[in-house]
């Protein structure tokens, strides 16, 4: 699970990216357990930013040895 600090930092970075690219800021931002969701109501768009790290393939056991 991501911390509140991680979620705030991710929101800040995404807002900066949107501003730099001339994309309108979201109407709403929701914090999930391991993600943030940015919502644009009029265009019905949702951007989900997953904050969980990808598992290292070396750490995943092979179910078909």
How many Å apart are CA 27 and CA 46, to the nearest integer?
10
Torsion from C-alpha of 65, 60, 35, 46, nearest 10 degrees: -40
pTM for the full model? 0.77
pLDDT tens, 17-64?
999 999 999 999 999 999 999 999 999 999 999 998 776 666 666 666
Instruction: Please give the average per-residue pLDDT across 2-20, as a whole number.
Output: 95
């Amino acid at each position: 699970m991501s911390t509140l600090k991680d979620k705030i930092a991710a929101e800040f970075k995404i807002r900066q990216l949107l501003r730099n690219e001339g994309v309108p800021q979201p109407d709403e931002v929701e914090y999930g357990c391991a993600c943030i969701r940015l919502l644009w109501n009029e265009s019905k768009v949702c951007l989900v930013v997953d904050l969980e790290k990808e598992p290292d393939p070396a750490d995943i056991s092979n179910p078909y040895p």
